[in-house]
Amino acid sequence: MNKEILRLALPNIITNITVPLLGMVDLAIVGHIGDETYIGAIALGTAIFNLIYWNFGFLRMGTSGLAAQAYGAGDNSEAMKILVRGITIAICAAVLLIALQWPIAKLSEAILNCSSETLKLTLTYFYIRIWAAPATLGLYAIKGWFIGMQNSKSPMVVAITLNIVNIVTSIVFVVWLKMDIAGVALGTVIAQYSGLLLAIALWFKHYGNMRHLIDIRGSLHKAEMKRFFKINSDIFLRTLCLCAVFTFIPAISANMGDRILAANTLIMQLFTLFSYIVDGYAYAGESLVGKYIGAKNPASLKKSIRYLLYWGIAFTAIFTLIYLFWSRDIYGILTNDTNVIDEAMSFNRWTLLIPICGFSAFIFDGIYIGATAAKSMRNIMFIATAVFFGGFFILQPAIGNDGLWIAFLLFLIFRGGLMWIRYKKVIVKPVENETNQ
């Protein structure tokens, strides 16, 4: 089982690590060309797109879980229908986002409470990067489908290529062409379309022989689409709560001043680094859990869940030690502003608790997605989100920024803890009962 987990997890880890590393490169570029307003603008611009794109996370998560179950059942025809549905919804959603870019920007401007210079830089970033929407959402659907089909190498190749293009173009536009934050945004747009073209090419390479199974009319049949949306509406609501939390953090940080915003941005980069690496095992969980449920194999299902948690605990220990000894060094890579680094280090005790409090939430996300147990994920996220906001409004007025981070850690604990308590009843028992019938 460990060999199977590593076969899927290692490419996913490499894929995922490129995402926070890219964010760190963007942050490092602007962190060395300007003051804390540039760091804040990247944080707020990223938060806007997180709010937009994470709400369409069901395009990847729903697609991977359903495709994995079709793979486990040996139903390639159904697998192709799932891909067509995902891509169709991605295209429609992207066109809508581009059409609504002005009201989205105005709403963001009304919500964000930051300095005028930071806001100006943020909107410059937004109006350029929004044009990457078709590529970004299209990649969500294709990546999810690859993962469901037990193919973690193709998303890895796409992610590495995409991020190399992004880093190179951002450096060229910002350092050489002096485009400042607009160069970072333009680099992202070019990279996203490069990644989409490569993903399409890899699909034809590995799955071109399945082209005859493409059935657009059957894929978009009313009953099939209704079932697809039924599952993914719960994932959408779950993701909406997640977006609310992760958008609230930089927004409320901006309310506490540009320095707190910059410091909290650095801390969130360390959280993101950890989460994306552990998500490699969560993605492996999506593939394996979905496959074993589709194959009606409860013994392998339980074993895969147990081993996935072991790997999560191991990486938690590693990252806790890294953050204990080298947080300041990592912050120093991201910015040369010593005032911001000192501010971030004053809250480093919470950074050390992020891996411990968060690992089970990430691992169980993958397990629940593979099982398409979206309703339970949604309900647990409702509870965790309520705990976060309740904790924040009680603690932050009394202890300031410490209250924000305590509320965030409680959010992680409730997510992971409740999914851990519920997984046997929600995921394992139904498969056992179906097998015994």
Looking at per-residue pLDDT, the higher value among 433 and 320 belongs to: 320
Instruction: For the chain, give every domain's residue range.
Output: 2-436
Would you state the pLDDT for residue 34? 56
The three state secondary structure string of the chain is CHHHHHHHHHHHHHHHHHHHHHHHHHHHHHHCCCCHHHHHHHHHHHHHHHHHHHCCCHHHHHHHHHHHHHHHCCCHHHHHHHHHHHHHHHHHHHHHHHHCHHHHHHHHHHHCCCCHHHHHHHHHHHHHHHHHHHHHHHHHHHHHHHHHCCCCHHHHHHHHHHHHHHHHHHHHHHHHCCCHHHHHHHHHHHHHHHHHHHHHHHHHHHHHHHHHHCCHHHHCCHHHHHHHHHHHHHHHHHHHHHHHHHHHHHHHHHHCCHHHHHHHHHHHHHHHHHHHHHHHHHHHHHHHHHHHHHCCCHHHHHHHHHHHHHHHHHHHHHHHHHHHHHHHHHHHHHCCCHHHHHHHHCCHHHHHHHHHHHHHHHHHHHHHHHCCCHHHHHHHHHHHHHHHHHHHHHHHHHHCHHHHHHHHHHHHHHHHHHHHHHHHHHHHHHHHHHHHC
Kindly indicate the confidence band of residue 180, based on its pLDDT and cuts at 50, 70 and 90.
Answer: confident
* Confidence at 21, pLDDT banded by 50, 70, 90: low
pLDDT digits (tens, 9 = 90+) for 79-130: 898 898 889 889 999 999 999 999 998 888 887 766 777 888 888 989 999 9
